[in-house]
């Protein structure tokens, strides 16, 4: 298994060198999900150490996307499991089709008014490109797991973090928050 990881890693490096591919995530030195501090949508700093011992679903969100309706499922799954140490983190980004152009205040109002969002929303960041936020450098590097590495393709991509701060699963935009695939994995992690 270790040899396979080395070969895969070397292949990715060689391919990225010759193709200039942006699909291969750059490495990130962050050791853990808990190494990050971010501003909430209200401007407060939150150190991710508060999420130790919790299962966390991190989602890049946008107000004017075909997948924006997933706010309903995100709120539903948050309400279903919040009493069992489960957290949803919404992170607005304007990187995909410029579908999140608003200010933090406008985004907060939109989410509250249209979807009654009560899960934690953070300040708008960049999730790709030269100004990619360090959290997304960590997430798109797979947290050290090359099977989970790769750039975020669009809004509403989801990363599931276990109680130890490790990325355990990743879901593309078309996977609904309340899908059997997501719910089963969340329940599996909550039972550990």
Token readout for 87 is 């957290």
DSSP state of 42: T
* 22 close to 151: Cβ distance less than 8 angstroms: yes
Query: What are the CA-CA distances from residue 138 to residues 53, 148, 188 (Å)?
Result: 19, 11, 23
Q: Cα(first)–Cα(last) distance of the chain, in Å? A: 25
State the helix-helix crossing angle for 70-81 and 180-190, rounded to 10 degrees.
Answer: 30
Report, as residue numbers or ranges, the catalytic residues. 65
Other CB atoms within 10 Å distance of the CB of residue 120: 19
Q: What is the residue-wise DSSP string for 56-112?
A: EEEEEE-SSSTTTTHHHHHHHHHHHHGGGTEEEEEEEB--STT---S-HHHHHHHHH
């Amino acid at each position: 298994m270790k040899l396979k990881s080395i070969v895969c890693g070397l292949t990715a490096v060689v391919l990225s060198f010759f193709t200039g591919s942006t699909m291969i995530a750059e490495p990130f030195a962050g050791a853990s999900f808990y190494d990050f501090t971010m501003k909430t949508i209200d401007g407060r700093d939150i150190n991710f150490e508060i999420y130790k011992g919790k299962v966390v679903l991190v989602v890049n969100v946008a107000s004017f996307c075909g997948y924006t309706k997933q706010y309903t499922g995100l709120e539903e799954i948050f309400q279903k499991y919040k009493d069992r140490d489960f957290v949803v983190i919404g992170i607005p980004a304007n990187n995909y089709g410029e579908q999140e152009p608003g200010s933090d205040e406008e985004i907060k109002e939109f989410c509250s008014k249209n979807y009654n969002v009560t899960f934690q929303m953070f300040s708008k960041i960049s999730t790709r490109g030269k100004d990619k936020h360090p959290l997304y450098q960590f997430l798109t590097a797979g947290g050290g797991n090359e099977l989970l590495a790769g750039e975020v393709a669009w809004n509403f991509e989801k990363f599931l973090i276990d109680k130890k701060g490790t990325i355990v699963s990743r879901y593309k935009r078309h996977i609904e928050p309340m899908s059997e695939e997501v719910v089963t994995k969340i329940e599996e992690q909550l039972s550990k």
